[in-house]
Structure 1
Amino acid sequence: MEAIYLALACWMIGSGIDDLWLDFCYLVGRIARPRRSSSSNPSSTAIPPADDPAEHPESLIALWIPAWREDAVIARMIAHNTASIRYSRYHIFAGTYPNDTATLEVLRELEKQFSNLHVSLAPHNGPTSKADNLNWIYQNMLVVEDRIGEEFDIVVIHDSEDLIHPEEFRWLNHYCRDYDFVQIPVLALPTPWWELTHGIYCDEFAETQQKDLPTRNRMGGFAPSCGVGTGYRRHALASLAEAESNRLFEPDSLTEDYLNGLRMHRLGLKQIYLSVAWVKGHPVATREFFPRKFRAAVRQRTRWVTGIALQTWQKVGWSKDWRENYWLWRDRKGLIGNPLSLLSNGLLTASVAGLLPQLSGDLRLAIVAGLLLQSIRIASRIYFTARVYGVCYALLVPVRIPWSNLVNTLATLSALGCFARARWRKEPLLWLKTEHAYPNRQMLNPYSRRFHEVLMDLKMIPRTELDAVAGRKPAGVRLGEYLVAEKLLDWDQLYHALSVLSSFPSARIAVEEIDIEAARSLPRSLMLQASLQPVRRGAESLVIATSEIPTDGLVETVRKFTKRDPFFVLVTPENLEKLRLYVDAPLERLAA
């Protein structure tokens, strides 16, 4: 037991000093943080930007979304983010496989709705790897560039469950003027305190995204991509492809994001990891739900450990530069640290319960020193968790840490087993898929644009005039209707703005397009109450015209009366009334 205690104490002290050194560097960086941007010294770029990112000319951005069995979430992801992103010059590239028919069907319907959406279909069945999926998206982007006659300036990668911050593209457009690789922070969405599994993601990402990764970047270490929210300048991607036999991403890598960060660093490309900054009370970061169940969390972290600690070790080994080796060591030490952390938790619990003999002498001092360093780690995590999720949530960090140690240990053992088995059988490591969920409308509200912001972004009304209108608008009158009444907008402009705000398409529907049988497929009372008029049926959908933005509750109500998926189109009140009169005319003649 003394030998075990001594080994644990040495590890706790060594790892604790390593972490303490990073804490010290973080504090030095906070004190020396630049306050203003400097065009002559890009490394001093202020965060958040010192000037308004909206003032810069918009570069053409390509948003890549690799997908495998994401039919449950990808439609909501694209719809919400298209409505909330405060940027106009971008295209979306969603990649999937021929054998993922459910996701492909959803994407084809979205492609009809969004003119800037392009479906990228791999030439073989999936799943392969995220890297392989991204490589085929890249090939599709080249085809689109030929078609539109313009090259994309920036590529940003996201997953199908991501909640993109409305300012993200503007920030990428700002920072990519000086950097080849820009990483937007990634933070977990909040969940109740009793969800311990998701809570460990909240704690760990709050600390790494606010302290570890930005400090690592300032110290000259390579910036590993987080897989989402990573912006690449186009010429940087060309450099990656040229350096690796035209392979943009390693097809057999499970963590191509991490590997690309290292590759870009070795090519001398400029990287920056943006520390978390708050705008209007919310962090500028990619938000998402991580796995909320124990087994799903172990599965996801198995992929992380396999790709970061094992595959990268196999591919690149160690470096001749001791500074790079230091960061490689930090990324790989979990192979030892995860099981030892869980073992120390168990021994500490058994010791407190009186099941193990008491320690004495130098060994006791060593254990106390190790526990003191671990206490500093806990205090650090509590601080960073509190900044994002509040003090009450952060107070449970000491409870979640042992749970995190259990998840990480099982993931480490699983990764070692999977990696060894694949090497023995000479088989590729496949994309370990985790189930995703997308936030509800209430949680999305803080990340959505407001109506007046859409009007200004579309340059329909100047801010000064909009402020004046808001001041004289009578209470109880909606802003859009008042603007039409004041002849500052017409109905078509208003519904175009509402379409951008809500992500529902707007159109003028002619009465000749109406299928009478489909038009009477919903209860008349519901159609009158909710301002609806079914128009026609698609293969799997029911197209419904409406003059009001549909709520989640209305969508669920409509589903009770039809087996088809409701597809809403915004129309002006005048257009809706014409459609109703046309549908009701035969009934009126029959009544007469």
Structure 2
Amino acid sequence: MAALDVLIWLAAGITRELMLFAAVGLLIGGIDDLAIDLLYLVRSGWRSAVVYRRHRAATAESLPPPDRPGRLAIFIGAWDESGVIAAMLRAALARLDHGDYRIYVGVYPNDPATIAAVRHVRRHAAGGRRVRMVSGALAGPTTKAEALNRLWRAMLVDEAREGVPVKAIVLHDAEDVVHPCELRVFDRLIERFDLVQLPVLPLIVPGSRWVSGHYCDEFAEAHGKQLVVREALGAGMPSAGVGCAISRAAMQGMADRAGGRPFDAASLTEDYEMGLRLGDHGGRGVFVRLPAAAGRGPVAIRAYFPATIDTAVRQKARWMTGIALAGWVRLGWRGGLAERWMRLRDRRAVLAAIVLAAAYAGLVCAAATFALCFAIGRPMPEVPPLLQGLTAINAGLMLWRALVRFVMVRATYGWREGLRAIPRMLVANLIAMMAARRAVAAYVRSGRPGGAAVPWDKTSHAFPTILPAE
């Protein structure tokens, strides 16, 4: 029995240390999230009680026309996108409500299927002449930034040849479902801001309600609350890489500072970095969650996100590497208190995954300790008062977190998805832990990426057969 006593003592000690580490980490993260929640509630209450009593809430429909109408250039990088690019372009041409825009699609000479799909749209779709296909000399895949820089140069050639200046550059991916009103919003607000970001609302992939659905939950909070608070605090506005517009002048400034290439090929998350670098140089970014009309949903970009554990882990590992690891080296800790706080939140993903892993490991050890004590008729070792207190506080914070998740998801996707969002938090945690492991391993193997061009590691995409009602 002495050996069993030692085993129980050892298991209880491991459990205690794991749970204490996890409890402290969860407490810090929970307080951090709670601060964002409270700021959001204060802001929302102020606008409801004061602002909206004096002014009608704006909608895309009520926006005044732009003071300086101009051409909008839409950039789409397309490597191995033959399965979605034609449907995406046809939908964009049919839906976009704007008189002067051009869609630039970056393709590759060794991707004939995508080239054929774009050519078919140009020749046969209504408005197909608005599509400009730009191929390069390099075989694909290169980097997403290389494709976008190629489109930038093609746009400059068109400006010089036609004498029609571009007002703003709009970024989209080949799988995006554009909103009919988005260019109207960009055309008006880009006159006041250097970067305008619209919400991204993922679509649930048929047959993947739990994996693809967890993106809906996370974006409902991130683009329904967190970016709203970020803007209110005056911190830099990161670009999501889709559904965003950058003013022509701001893009030119970035190009001038980078030898004519505004998009950085050395970054895994060049879109995220672009928004923060713009803020570092005095540019103003804004996150706009604006209903299309009274009683209608927001002007937002919709798209399918990864539908399997493997593809979700790959995508999130890329985000973690670019934002939480390489971003620390590449962007540093510039700005005031609010900016540094937001950058810390951006970069906490890997540490948060470690804390979650410790918590789950502690639960497993606690269960094993209980089973062992029960089997031999021994009482469970006493839990230290400090750990009891921390556990109680964290339980309260977790209940609050689940309530907030339900409220934010329900507001966008309805109450059924709001309820599903609560158990989907476990799916999100699993994917986050697996992605963190992959991100750290990739970061260590690459020797702190940040100087060399990063190959385009993209996932396969799908486009909805039935477009969402707007």
TM-score range, shorter chain: 0.7 to 0.9
Identity of aligned residues (%): 32
Q: Which residue identity does 2:272 align to in structure 1? A: Y
For residue 221 of structure 1, give the secondary structure of its aligned residue in structure 2. coil
Look up the match of 1:431.
456
More RCO (CA 8 Å, sep 6+): 2
Once residues 76 and 49 of structure 1 are traced to their aligned partners in structure 2, the CA distance between those partners, rounded to angstroms, is 25
Instruction: Find 2:272's aligned residue among 255, 258, 283.
Output: 258
2:134 matched to 1:120? Answer: yes
Once residues 400 and 45 of structure 1 are traced to their aligned partners in structure 2, the CA distance between those partners, rounded to angstroms, is 37
Residue 429 of structure 1 and its aligned partner are, at CA, apart by 2.9
Q: Deviations over 1:393-441 (max 9, x none)?
A: 2112221111111111111111111222222899643211111111113
2:409 matched to 1:391? Answer: no
Instruction: Find 2:289's aligned residue among 267, 275, 283.
Output: 275
Q: Is the 8 A contact 1:122 1:136 kept in 2?
A: yes
Once residues 193 and 77 of structure 1 are traced to their aligned partners in structure 2, the CA distance between those partners, rounded to angstroms, is 22
Q: Which residue identity does 2:447 align to in structure 1? A: R
Look up the match of 2:6.
none
Look up the match of 2:157.
143
Q: Which residue identity does 1:168 align to in structure 2? A: E
Once residues 437 and 19 of structure 1 are traced to their aligned partners in structure 2, the CA distance between those partners, rounded to angstroms, is 33
Once residues 367 and 211 of structure 1 are traced to their aligned partners in structure 2, the CA distance between those partners, rounded to angstroms, is 27
Look up the match of 1:364.
388
Q: Which residue identity does 1:436 align to in structure 2? A: H
Residue 140 of structure 1 and its aligned partner are, at CA, apart by 0.7
Residue 340 of structure 1 and its aligned partner are, at CA, apart by 1.8
TM value normalised by structure 1: 0.70
Q: Structure 1 residues 238 and 37 mapped into 2: Cα distance closer, same or farther (>3 Å)?
A: farther
Q: Deviations over 1:203-244 (max 9, x none)?
A: 000111000011111111111001100111101111112233
The alignment covers a number of residue pairs equal to: 440
Q: Is the 8 A contact 2:239 2:274 kept in 1?
A: yes
Q: Is the 8 A contact 1:134 1:249 kept in 2?
A: yes
Q: Deviations over 1:510-560 (max 9, x none)?
A: xxxxxxxxxxxxxxxxxxxxxxxxxxxxxxxxxxxxxxxxxxxxxxxxxxx
Q: Deviations over 1:267-320 (max 9, x none)?
A: 111110013536453331000110111111111111111111122112122226
Look up the match of 1:295.
310
Q: Which residue identity does 1:437 align to in structure 2? A: A
Once residues 61 and 298 of structure 2 are traced to their aligned partners in structure 1, the CA distance between those partners, rounded to angstroms, is 17
Q: Which residue identity does 2:359 align to in structure 1? A: S
Structure 1 unaligned spans of 5+: 39-43, 448-592
Once residues 454 and 30 of structure 2 are traced to their aligned partners in structure 1, the CA distance between those partners, rounded to angstroms, is 33
Instruction: Find 1:21's aligned residue among 35, 41, 49.
Output: 35
Q: Is the 8 A contact 2:353 2:433 kept in 1?
A: yes
Once residues 354 and 252 of structure 2 are traced to their aligned partners in structure 1, the CA distance between those partners, rounded to angstroms, is 40
Q: Which residue identity does 2:458 align to in structure 1? A: K
Once residues 250 and 194 of structure 1 are traced to their aligned partners in structure 2, the CA distance between those partners, rounded to angstroms, is 34
- Structure 1 or 2, whichever has the larger Rg, is 1
TM value normalised by structure 2: 0.87
Once residues 130 and 390 of structure 1 are traced to their aligned partners in structure 2, the CA distance between those partners, rounded to angstroms, is 35
Once residues 402 and 355 of structure 1 are traced to their aligned partners in structure 2, the CA distance between those partners, rounded to angstroms, is 24
For residue 137 of structure 2, give the secondary structure of its aligned residue in structure 1. coil
Q: Which residue identity does 1:32 align to in structure 2? A: W
Q: Is the 8 A contact 1:223 1:271 kept in 2?
A: yes
Q: Which residue identity does 1:399 align to in structure 2? A: P
Q: Deviations over 1:464-521 (max 9, x none)?
A: xxxxxxxxxxxxxxxxxxxxxxxxxxxxxxxxxxxxxxxxxxxxxxxxxxxxxxxxxx
Q: Structure 1 residues 221 and 37 mapped into 2: Cα distance closer, same or farther (>3 Å)?
A: farther
Residue 351 of structure 1 and its aligned partner are, at CA, apart by 4.5
Q: Which residue identity does 1:430 align to in structure 2? A: P
Look up the match of 1:331.
346
Q: Deviations over 1:236-262 (max 9, x none)?
A: 111112233333011121111110111
For residue 217 of structure 2, give the secondary structure of its aligned residue in structure 1. helix
Residues 19-98 of structure 1 mapped to structure 2, 5 A cutoff: 19-33=33-47, 35=51, 47-48=58-59, 51-53=62-64, 58-98=69-109
Once residues 335 and 411 of structure 2 are traced to their aligned partners in structure 1, the CA distance between those partners, rounded to angstroms, is 38
For residue 391 of structure 2, give the secondary structure of its aligned residue in structure 1. helix
Q: Structure 1 residues 93 and 234 mapped into 2: Cα distance closer, same or farther (>3 Å)?
A: same
